[in-house]
Amino acid sequence: MESLRFVLRDRDGKYGQAFDAVFHTDDMRVITSAPQAPRMNAHCERVIGTLRRELLDQFLIMGEGHPRQVLKTYEVHYNRHRPHQARDQLPPADQQHPAAVHDPDTRRVLRTRIFGGLINEYRNAA
């Protein structure tokens, strides 16, 4: 496992010298966001909110290895299957929409359950 090298945080007053000292003792660099840039963390906060709503609020995390496994599984789902509004409902890994099915009676739909059915992925059967 790769060790952490830095922590990125905003300039909120709740993060005092004691907070930074914890990371400095582990030889980590503390990087603060630019002053007076309230939107600098917007993308990160959006991803964190998505992770909490769609995933972490539904799980009881057990031990240190469990969240790593859960996040890795969700990462595959997020990048290969989950539709993204900004990409015209395409996942990041896809470049174009799948071919349209003109006769729905000739195709079967397969469902893959992720996390025991918390998330479902659908695709046409071959």
Rounded to whole angstroms, the Cα distance separating 40 from 42 reads 6
Scanning the chain, the segments in alpha helix (DSSP H) are 17-25, 42-54, 65-80
For 37-63, what is each residue's pLDDT tens digit? 777 778 778 888 888 998 888 888 888
For 75-100, what is each residue's pLDDT tens digit? 888 888 888 777 778 888 877 766 66
pTM, to two decimals: 0.59
Rounded to whole angstroms, the Cα distance separating 111 from 118 reads 12
Is residue 111 within a helix (H) or strand (E), and if so which, with residue range? strand 109-114
Mean of the per-residue pLDDT values of the chain: 82
Residue 78, burial from CB neighbour count under 10 angstroms (0-12, 13-18, 19+): buried
